């Protein structure tokens, strides 16, 4: 079996932030590597340098707490022992993920972990699993396998949690909180495909967030003008491997156990909460355009940009005037 394996985790951001600062507030920048991705921060004002250091520490703390790897992180231990008294924070995030799962009828599901493992995405041992293996893994998928009572969590046998579809968005929200509480009123945080902006640029104009093209490296499908919001993109191009000429990416349709083939090449969600934007960009990617539109009409509270495999770009009504196609 020859499998051509590629990972594109390092140094690739699903969206790039572009700003031209003409204000006089001092600018501070910071770049770290956490949650398997390059993260960069830019903030303005006197408080910015210290605030960025604190935000970076916070992200490293969350990386340990919410990662499936490592030794004594909370999620790690819950997965290992099947039962754990969690911090209120982790318990809340899991509850939030479960409630998004309910609303998305399982398109977003943090119990997808055994299926991720079957495809080798956990340890980069990529392979196409047999049907039997996939059905065994799928039998442990479903949020009814998570029992959570206060902060005490229990997983039914075989159930494992993967917060990869939501953790970066949560980390972006926490970093944003720190910057705001420190008095920063203009900043842009880029955690891989997760961008959060605080306020506007120092000159008062909107931030410009370029949405990466899922079709060509270093190209963009368009630019979005935004202030005070999160812009999160999910795409199969972020992490994938090839086997026998077929591409298998890391966003799984829990209904089939296979990488989602919804006709979308990328899904971008724009909303106030980075956590929600992260979970929903993964969700919309699984759903495909039509279901995504139905979901948007039913729930609202967010905007989207969908890039279909055929090159078509659909932008939701609430941001049409903010998005300039390339």
What, of Mg ion, ligand AMP, none, does residue 162 touch, CB below 5 to 8 Å by kind? ligand AMP
Nearest distance, CB of residue 29 and ligand AMP, angstroms: 24
Backbone torsions φ then ψ of 187, nearest 5 degrees: -160, 160
Site for Mg ion contains 165 (CB under 5 A): yes
First CA to last CA distance, the chain: 41
In whole angstroms, give the CA distance from residue 20 to residue 41: 15
Choose the stretch contacting Mg ion; rule: CB under 5 A; options: 49-57, 133-141, 196-204, 272-280. 272-280
Give the number of C-alpha atoms closer than 13 A to the C-alpha of residue 321, restricted to the C-beta side. Answer: 1
What, of Mg ion, ligand AMP, none, does residue 315 touch, CB below 5 to 8 Å by kind? none
Binding residues vs ligand AMP (CB under 6 A): 108-110, 112, 116, 162, 164-165, 234, 238-239, 250-252, 254, 278, 281-282, 286
Site for Mg ion contains 282 (CB under 5 A): yes
Q: 48-77 burial, b for 16+ CB within 10 Å, e for fewer?
A: beebbeebbeebeebbbbbbbeeeebbbbb
Radius of gyration of the chain, Cα coordinates, nearest whole angstrom: 19
What, of ligand AMP, Mg ion, none, does residue 167 touch, CB below 5 to 8 Å by kind? none
> Which of 186, 190 has the CB closer to ligand AMP?
190
> Is 150 within 8 Å of 95 (Cβ atoms)?
no
DSSP 303: E
What tokens appear for 272 in the block? 């106030």
Q: In what order do the strands lie in the sheet with 83-85?
A: 83-85, 152-155, 146-149
> Which of 155, 172 has the CB closer to Mg ion?
172
Nearest distance, CB of residue 272 and ligand AMP, angstroms: 17
In whole angstroms, give the CA distance from residue 13 to residue 238: 8
Site for Mg ion contains 278 (CB under 5 A): yes
Nearest distance, CB of residue 261 and Mg ion, angstroms: 18
> Which of 196, 281 has the CB closer to Mg ion?
281
In whole angstroms, give the CA distance from residue 154 to residue 77: 11
What, of ligand AMP, Mg ion, none, does residue 238 touch, CB below 5 to 8 Å by kind? ligand AMP
Nearest distance, CB of residue 239 and Mg ion, angstroms: 12
Nearest distance, CB of residue 82 and Mg ion, angstroms: 25
What tokens appear for 83 in the block? 């039962």
Nearest distance, CB of residue 143 and ligand AMP, angstroms: 10
> Which of 116, 226 has the CB closer to ligand AMP?
116
* DSSP reduced 3-state for 241: strand
> Which of 137, 286 has the CB closer to ligand AMP?
286
Q: Which residues form the interface with Mg ion (CB under 5 A)?
A: 165, 278, 281-282
């Amino acid at each position: 079996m020859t499998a051509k394996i590629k990972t594109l985790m390092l140094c690739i951001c699903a969206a790039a932030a572009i700003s031209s600062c003409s204000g006089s507030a001092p600018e501070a920048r910071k770049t770290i590597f956490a949650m398997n991705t390059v993260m960069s921060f830019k903030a303005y004002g006197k408080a910015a340098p210290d605030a960025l250091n604190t935000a970076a520490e916070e992200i490293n703390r969350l990386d340990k707490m919410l990662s499936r790897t490592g030794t004594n992180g909370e999620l790690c231990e819950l997965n290992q022992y099947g039962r754990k008294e969690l911090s209120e924070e982790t318990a809340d995030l899991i509850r939030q993920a479960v409630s998004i799962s309910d609303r998305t009828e399982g398109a977003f599901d943090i119990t997808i972990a055994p299926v991720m493992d079957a495809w080798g995405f956990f340890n980069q041992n990529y392979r196409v699993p047999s049907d039997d293996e996939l059905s065994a893994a799928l039998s442990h998928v479903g949020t009814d396998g998570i029992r959570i009572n206060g902060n005490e969590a229990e997983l039914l046998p075989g159930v494992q949690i993967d917060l990869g579809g939501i953790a970066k968005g949560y980390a972006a929200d926490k970093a944003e909180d720190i910057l705001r509480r420190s008095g920063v009123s203009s900043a842009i945080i880029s955690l891989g495909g997760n961008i959060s902006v605080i306020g506007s640029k120092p000159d008062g104009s909107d931030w410009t967030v370029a949405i990466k093209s899922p079709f060509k490296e270093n190209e963009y499908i368009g630019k979005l003008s935004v202030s005070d919001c999160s812009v999160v993109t999910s795409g199969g191009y972020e992490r994938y491997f090839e086997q026998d000429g077929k591409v298998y990416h890391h966003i799984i349709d829990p209904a089939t156990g296979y990488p989602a083939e919804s006709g979308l090449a990328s899904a971008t969600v724009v909303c106030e909460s980075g956590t929600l934007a992260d979970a929903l960009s993964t969700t919309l990617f699984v759903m495909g355009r039509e279901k995504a539109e139905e979901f948007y009409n039913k729930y609202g509270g967010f905007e989207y940009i969908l890039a279909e495999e055929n090159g078509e770009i659909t932008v939701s009504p609430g941001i049409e005037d903010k998005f300039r196609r390339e």
